[in-house]
Amino acid sequence: MSMIRTICWAFFGVLAFAAFASAAEPSYALAGSGVGAGLGAALTIIGAGYGFGKIGAAALESMARQPEVAGQVQTGMIIIGALLEGATFFALIVCILVSGNAKF
């Protein structure tokens, strides 16, 4: 338990004091915004992978049970997959913008 507590305090220290220790221009952004954006992007990708897996598993199971409706199931699966992919891209773009490193 002591090791986990030490790692948590070290992680907090990096987030809290990273902006003060940088040798670049002074930044008034939150020190942990880059780390938070990275964690948000990672959670987004994990959630999208889980969602695509559930869609594929359910579609394959329904096609195996009723092969005559495979075309309708496949169409529905593609539509749901496209909506999921759009939401994933939106979340990733928000994570990039939050990090403050987006250059337009």
Give me the mean pLDDT over the 2-20 stretch. 70
* Position 28 pLDDT exceeds 70: no
Residue with tokens 């987006």: 102
Domain-wise residue ranges, the chain: 31-104
In this predicted model, what pLDDT tens digit does every residue of 64-88 receive, in sequence order?
Answer: 999 999 999 999 999 998 999 998 8
Q: DSSP letters of 9-56?
A: HHHHHHHHHHHHH-SSS---S-TTHHHHHHHHHHHHHHHHHHHHHHHH
Confidence grade of residue 50 (pLDDT, cut at 50, 70, 90)? very high
pLDDT (0 to 100) of residue 17:
61
Question: What gap in Å lies between CA 10 and CA 3, rounded to an integer?
Answer: 11
Q: Is the pTM of this model over 0.75?
A: no
- What topology is assigned to 31-104 in CATH? F1FO ATP Synthase (1.20.20)
* Position 12 pLDDT exceeds 80: no
